[in-house]
Structure 1
Amino acid sequence: MPLLVLGARTLHGYPSRILVDRLRAAVSLIDAAPDPVQVVVSGDGEAAAMAHWLVEHGVDPDLVVREPYARSTNENLERAHALIPGVERWTVVTSDFHVPRTRLWAWHLGIPVHVVGAETQRRDLVVAALRECLALPHSALRIGWRRLLARASRSS
């Protein structure tokens, strides 16, 4: 089962603390797997830094697939799914505060997922949680709007 690591901010080409937390969680899952695991790192401007970090921490570079264009949670999921079609269920690694939004988008897109939330360091949690308080309702509204438009187009 392939692993998808969602991108987060980078600083001068290096993963931020939140992104490192996600990458560490991914390495733990890779190390625990009985068979080699293909890893998709996804994010505009982040995929290269993520791939480099994983390889530096022992992940086989031949198993790392970069998706360098996604700019949002839904695009991360959509683009990874397009890169490796036919995946029955993705294991998605993101931050603990980001799990509900990731599940919401996966449900909307019809992409079966198991979401693993990397623990966020306390010093990053307040800002991340505040951002997520705005982002989750925004995503829910976007999904609702998309579904409403889809229903309207089927009716006409």
Structure 2
Amino acid sequence: MLILGARTLHGYPSRILVDRLRAALPLIDAPSLPVVVSGDGEAAAMADWLAEHGVDPGQVVREPYARSTNENLENAHALLPGVERWTVVTSDFHVLRTRLWAWHLGIPVRVVGAPTQRRDLVVAALRECVALPHSALRIGWRRLLARASRSD
């Protein structure tokens, strides 16, 4: 499992991040399976929150460098390359972009979207209206460059 990071406030998970962590809890059913928490400046707060809510700290793998959706996926996959299919927990508004990046990177995923509280939804939706097309353009550009380098 991979739980994508989100903003923290003074070292503690924001509401959106807590929503993601809460959605992940019932999915952490096998104590032997690793749970990757990913995000620059967020992984430690996520690991602490999970430990406070009964998850064995030895089960949690921290990936503290990712700064974007694609880096979360790439870095987690590099940490545990043997995972055949990831369960990725993110926010409901972020599911499409997560699936898009996973498809582009060739990483098989099942994406679980945590419900977003109404008070956070407007800002999150507005941000996603910019971030989703931006990601789509980045993916298109990467694919175009890859195609061009193959034809050389």
- Corresponding residue number in structure 2 for 1:14: 12
- For structure 1, list consecutive stretches of 5 or more residues without a partner in the other structure: none
CA distance in 1, matches of 2:137, 2:100: 11
**How much does 1:67 deviate?**
0.1
- Corresponding residue number in structure 1 for 2:67: 71
Determine which of 91, 104, 111 is the counterpart of 2:107.
Answer: 111
CA distance in 2, matches of 1:61, 1:27: 13
CA distance in 2, matches of 1:82, 1:149: 23
- SS of the residue 2:112 aligns to: strand
- Corresponding residue number in structure 1 for 2:136: 140
Write the letter of the residue equivalent to 1:17. Answer: R
CA distance in 2, matches of 1:52, 1:86: 26
Write the letter of the residue equivalent to 1:87. Answer: V
Write the letter of the residue equivalent to 1:21. Answer: D
CA shift digits 1:83-127 (9 cap, x unpaired) = 001111000000000000000000000000000000000000000
**How much does 1:57 deviate?**
0.4
- For structure 2, list consecutive stretches of 5 or more residues without a partner in the other structure: none
CA distance in 1, matches of 2:74, 2:45: 21
Q: TM-score, normalised by structure 1?
A: 0.96
- SS of the residue 2:37 aligns to: strand
1:50 is aligned to 2:75: no
RMSD: 0.5
1:40 is aligned to 2:54: no
CA shift digits 1:4-52 (9 cap, x unpaired) = 000000000000000000000111211xx3x323100000000000000
Write the letter of the residue equivalent to 2:73. Answer: L
Runs of 4+ in 1 over 4 A off after TM superposition: none
CA distance in 1, matches of 2:27, 2:116: 17
